Amino acid sequence: MELQLPPHEGVELSVVDMHTGGEPLRIIVAGYPEVRGDSVLSKRRYACEHLDHLRKVLMFEPRGHYDMYGALIVDSETPEADLGVLFMHNEGYSTMCGHAVIALGRFAVDYKLVKEPRSPETQVNIHCPCGLVKAFVEYSAGKTGAVRFLSVPAFAFATDVTVTVEGFGEVTVDISYGGAFYAFVDAQRFGLDVKQSRTRDLVDAATAVTRAIKSQVKLHHPVSDDLAFLYGTILTDGRDQFSPEPTANICVFAEAQVDRSPTGSGVTARVALQYHKGLIQLNQTRTFQSGATGSKFTGKAVEETRCGDFRAVVVEVAGRAFYTGVSRFVQEPQDELTHGFLLK
């Protein structure tokens, strides 16, 4: 039987679905109206203010789920960029997403968004809201493979910050930036293990930390106020000193959304934090494991730089992404749930 679109009204929304380390990425390829703005950051604001209903259609149930993640390809104002991208999730729009960059690197080569693929690697310049991120895609015999990317300048924002966390009292955290701001704290502080504890307990602890920091710590970024917000909290296994053995973490971001991967921008921020503390040196490759799925990324600081007054590093993160399918979504006007819903 040949599949055809069912009865519907309005445009269809076409997507390609992938995952990186278990974390989904829904790449929107057709059906979105024009996203206006003279920069990727201004396009992010426009999407939030004028097109947010479509984020909910594609991220929320019944087409998505509470932890769905998406990417919308847009034009970039930067001549060097091969594509611009907006990231979306259950709460809104991120400024950086490493697992998405890894997937988009493969996608850009496979879907011919770069003109001339080259072996052994093809470079793909992806303009994220946080800045230009350079991805390098393994390419051989017409097939794409693993992807590594070089981050925007990443830096430790503040270390040993004490906040009062509801239900846990005073908690000491570090805050670091890897394209987005994250708080870092050892899960043992809450009597938890990132690989063994119940996900619900990890989410509750991380969410409590995020709420505390948002109310007690003011963030700022040298480039733009649009970047100055806490994206989430990453609970770690406390193994920050360099070791050839993997170190595990779990990231809870946006509206208590759980990352299935080791979190690409989180790995970036964690490497920057470890480098700031003298726990890792330039070009020492560390393996980071997801406490949720066991999937792994590698990360290393490759270059010192600056971001405003902050001493920063460029971090290389590497991983693999895989395709899971393609979909064409429609809406029926009689469907009371067509605009999406979430179960919390």
Catalytic residues: 97
Angle at 296 between CA 99 and CA 291, to 5 degrees: 95
CA distances for 287 relative to 177, 307, 320, angstroms:
19, 25, 13
Q: Which of 305, 262, 302 lies closest to 284 in space, CA to CA? A: 302
Tokens of 92: 């809104």
- Exposure string over 281-300, b if 16+ CB within 10 A, otherwise e: eeebebbbbbbbbebbbbbb
Which residues on adjacent β-strands are paired with residue 19?
24, 322
SS3 (DSSP) at 335: coil
Long-range (24+ apart) CB contacts under 8 A made by 28-32 are 28/58, 28/70, 28/71, 28/72, 28/73, 29/73, 29/111, 31/329, 32/72
SS3 (DSSP) at 26: strand
Residue type at position 341: F
Peptide bond into 120 cis (omega under 30): yes
DSSP 92: S
